[in-house]
A and B are shown apart, each in its own frame.
Chain A
Amino acid sequence: MIEDDDRIRMSLGLALEDEGYTVRSAGTAEEGLAAQRADPADTVLVDLMLPGIDGFECIRQLRRDGDVPIIVVSARDDTHDVVAALEAGADDYVIKPVAVKELSARMRALRRRARPAQASTLTLVFGELEIRPQAGEVLLHGELLSLTRTEFRLICELAEHAGLVLSRQQLLERVWEYDYGDDRLVDVHIGRLRQKIEDNPSVPSRLITVRGLGYKLQR
């Protein structure tokens, strides 16, 4: 947990330990990044307003190092901040004050995202794009792509229903396990996925937006 407010760090740490987690915390991004490199945690919680390196940059550096699940825990809730944090590479975003049970549920959902619910043993092929759900691999033009868990789960969900439109709501339920949540999560992750699987991300040919309905992966 990277959080500069001592009291929050302490209370949230205690509460998460009650939920069965082992919590290590840092008061600055520098400290947190160093700790993550030395002894990687399974999930990183990060605040946005940090002294020195801010939360956005911290997320970008964590992402450069690997695909560790990242949840933003911030008091800032304007669209600009939410989108910027998700674009930097965060998997989920919760707004303070968040109930510990809710935060815990988000962390569990994120850990489950490592594998699709019913992983197909088959390789799904869409032209130059190859998806191997069981192996957790996605290849484009025969090269392995590095996707985060959320991106991987998202593309598996779309691939299993290739040719069909999935609404943002359906994707939120299936990938993030939200009953009802924030569409921005879906939109930003779709954007990030396009950066990786589209030849020209601004003119997508594989992952299509169906206006007013949702997204679909072209067969």
Chain B
Amino acid sequence: MRRPGLRARVTAGFAIAAFIVSATVALLSYQLTENYLLGERERSALRATAIEAGIVKAGLAGSNPDIGAVLKALDTGGKRRAVIYRDGTWYGRNADFGIKSTIPANLQAMVSSGQAGAQRIRTDTGPALAIGVPLDDSTSFYVIDVMQELDRSLQVLALIITLVAAATTAAGAALGWYAARYVVRPLTNVVAAADNISAGDLTARLDPSAEPDLARLAASFNKMVDELSARVQRDRRFAADVSHELRSPLQTLSAATSVLTRRAAGMDAKAAAAAHLVAGEVQRFEDLVTDLLELSRSDQPASLEPVDIAALTRSVCRTRGVDTAKVQAPPDDVVWRVDRRRFQQILANLIDNAEAHGGGLHAITIRETSQGRYLDIDDDGPGVSPPDRAIIFDRFVRGRAAGARGDGDGAGLGLAIVHQHVTAHGGTITVTDRPGGGARFTIALPTEPT
């Protein structure tokens, strides 16, 4: 399972903490409020009952009193219902008579034994308080005080507290999300710098003063890039210096060899063969040095200019001795912004590759779609096997057909140069099977921002 992102986790953490705090506060305040309100209500109910008990007791003082009339005389209102238990018989107003069954047995027992008491009960009309007061040995006075309005208040309170808790949790989550975003934001600079560096811009650095908390990260990051950059520069300079130093002796070799080969006809057979070998190797050496210099330069940014790609492709075909009818392009002018010199090199190397290892060039197709700009170079060879596709653009990888290092074979830098040049254009190059056989090299360049 994928671990959730930092931002998701920070957000969840803030939300959970906010929920725990707000739920605890809500529960505590509900409990306290409920206890306080109920306590108040009980005290006032008990006070009222004590007064009523006094009135009833006085009303029952005479002989043979009318218990019904005494009860009716009490002004209990709709929420308080009074009943009297005397000598095993219940007395009450008709409407109140039914409530005697709601009086708990243990309260009755307590009152019968001469002790006043109160107990919370539930009735059909909501929570209520049952209060019992002994009037004399055989008479008990009970009041059922329905606390419906208090119950409603508590319900409203519970609802409000729940909503506040939910809102607090949501606010916590929002705060967490924002905080995570705020904390992560400086890291986007790091990401941008790292992207630039991997795209070949070794001058990208972080500003350590921009975010004091990330100064150490910025410092280590910059140090890492400095070292990487120095190393790349060293490697590049070494390749460039070596190639450059080789140019002068190569010039001597090249010129001297041409003098030799021109006279090969007049030499004996062995000398002529040797002269031919030297000429071939000098040529290969020259190509290698040219390619190495090209590679050591090719991570410099491309200098883009509008170029008629179809015309350029045809002109490269002509220099390679390839039929220009093999170039298929849309009828309208196809003008791409590319580095002309490097694009020539890309095309020349791919055409040479097709001619040397791909059984000859089949076709070059220039395509433009809304997704991008494409150039397919198809050949008539056996294609490129999937394991070879992964390494074919590496340096010093030679074509299979040239395993024995045939005459005029390159050093295996041609496709590496193509790859670097395409990358410098922000594009990609892939190799697939051409429908109908052979390999297809596809250059994909992103569409231009207009």
Binds B, one of A60-68, A93-101, A107-115, A119-127: A93-101
B254 engages A99 (CB within 8 Å): yes
User: Counting CB contacts under 8 A, is B253 at the interface?
Assistant: yes
A180 engages B250 (CB within 8 Å): no
**A218–B62 alpha-carbon span in the complex (Å):** 137
Contacting residues, chain A, for B335 (C-beta < 8 A): 212
User: Counting CB contacts under 8 A, is A15 at the interface?
Assistant: yes
A8 engages B311 (CB within 8 Å): no
B252 engages A11 (CB within 8 Å): yes
A214 CB to nearest chain B CB (Å): 11
**A64–B434 alpha-carbon span in the complex (Å):** 59
A182 engages B258 (CB within 8 Å): no
- Chain A, residue nearest B249 (CB): A7
A100 engages B254 (CB within 8 Å): yes
User: Counting CB contacts under 8 A, is A128 at the interface?
Assistant: no
User: Counting CB contacts under 8 A, is A137 at the interface?
Assistant: no
Contacting residues, chain B, for A18 (C-beta < 8 A): 258-259, 262
User: Counting CB contacts under 8 A, is B119 at the interface?
Assistant: no
- Known contacts A15-B255, A99-B254, A180-B319; A169/B248 CB under 8 A: no
B119 CB to nearest chain A CB (Å): 97
User: Counting CB contacts under 8 A, is B340 at the interface?
Assistant: yes
**A11–B257 alpha-carbon span in the complex (Å):** 9
Contacting residues, chain B, for A11 (C-beta < 8 A): 251-256, 259
User: Counting CB contacts under 8 A, is B270 at the interface?
Assistant: no
User: Counting CB contacts under 8 A, is B341 at the interface?
Assistant: yes
Q: Place the interface of chain A in its size category.
A: 20 to 34
B306 engages A212 (CB within 8 Å): yes
- Known contacts A18-B262, A179-B315; A96/B250 CB under 8 A: yes
**A119–B335 alpha-carbon span in the complex (Å):** 34
User: Counting CB contacts under 8 A, is A41 at the interface?
Assistant: no
Contacting residues, chain A, for B252 (C-beta < 8 A): 5, 7-8, 10-12
A8 engages B251 (CB within 8 Å): yes
Cross-interface CB contact of A96 among B251, B306, B319, B340, cutoff 8 Å: B251
Cross-interface CB contact of A180 among B258, B289, B315, cutoff 8 Å: B315
B283-299 to A contact mask, C-beta < 8 Å, 1/0: 00010010001000000
Contacting residues, chain B, for A211 (C-beta < 8 A): 306
User: Counting CB contacts under 8 A, is A135 at the interface?
Assistant: no
Contacting residues, chain A, for B341 (C-beta < 8 A): 182-183
B258 engages A97 (CB within 8 Å): no
- Chain B, residue nearest A14 (CB): B259
Contacting residues, chain B, for A5 (C-beta < 8 A): 248, 251-252
- Chain A, residue nearest B263 (CB): A18
A169 engages B315 (CB within 8 Å): yes
**A75–B250 alpha-carbon span in the complex (Å):** 10
Give residues of chain A (169-215) contacting chain B, Cβ–Cβ below 8 Å.
169, 179-180, 182-183, 211-213
User: Counting CB contacts under 8 A, is A77 at the interface?
Assistant: yes
Give residues of chain B (232-260) contacting chain A, Cβ–Cβ below 8 Å.
244, 247-256, 258-259
**A12–B248 alpha-carbon span in the complex (Å):** 11
- Known contacts A7-B252, A179-B315; A15/B259 CB under 8 A: yes
- Known contacts A5-B252, A169-B315, A212-B335; A96/B247 CB under 8 A: yes
**A92–B180 alpha-carbon span in the complex (Å):** 62
B344 CB to nearest chain A CB (Å): 6
Give residues of chain A (134-158) contacting chain B, Cβ–Cβ below 8 Å.
none
- Chain B, residue nearest A103 (CB): B255
**A97–B285 alpha-carbon span in the complex (Å):** 10
Contacting residues, chain B, for A7 (C-beta < 8 A): 249, 252
A8 engages B255 (CB within 8 Å): yes
B293 engages A97 (CB within 8 Å): no
B311-327 to A contact mask, C-beta < 8 Å, 1/0: 11001101100000000
User: Counting CB contacts under 8 A, is B305 at the interface?
Assistant: yes
A73 CB to nearest chain B CB (Å): 8
- Chain B, residue nearest A6 (CB): B252
- Known contacts A96-B250, A169-B311, A180-B316; A14/B306 CB under 8 A: no
B245 CB to nearest chain A CB (Å): 9
- Chain B, residue nearest A173 (CB): B315
B155 CB to nearest chain A CB (Å): 77
Contacting residues, chain B, for A75 (C-beta < 8 A): 244, 247-248, 251
A189 CB to nearest chain B CB (Å): 17
- Known contacts A8-B251, A212-B306; A97/B259 CB under 8 A: no
B409 CB to nearest chain A CB (Å): 19
**A18–B255 alpha-carbon span in the complex (Å):** 10
A97 engages B247 (CB within 8 Å): yes
Contacting residues, chain B, for A77 (C-beta < 8 A): 293
B311 engages A12 (CB within 8 Å): no
Cross-interface CB contact of B251 among A12, A180, A182, A213, cutoff 8 Å: A12
**A58–B319 alpha-carbon span in the complex (Å):** 34
B70 CB to nearest chain A CB (Å): 113
Give residues of chain A (52-76) contacting chain B, Cβ–Cβ below 8 Å.
73, 75-76
B1 CB to nearest chain A CB (Å): 54
A100 engages B319 (CB within 8 Å): no
Q: What are the 6 closest A-B residue pairs judged by CB atoms, nearest first?
A: A212-B306, A11-B255, A97-B250, A75-B247, A15-B255, A11-B256
The residues of A with any CB-CB pair to B shorter than 8 Å are 5, 7-8, 10-12, 14-15, 18, 73, 75-77, 95-101, 167, 169, 179-180, 182-183, 211-213
User: 9 A-B contacts, Cβ less than 8 Å apart?
Assistant: A11-B259, A15-B255, A18-B259, A76-B244, A96-B248, A97-B253, A98-B254, A179-B315, A180-B315
A18-B258, A100-B255 known; 9 new pairs, CB 8 Å cut-off, are A5-B248, A8-B248, A10-B252, A11-B253, A11-B255, A14-B255, A15-B259, A97-B250, A97-B289
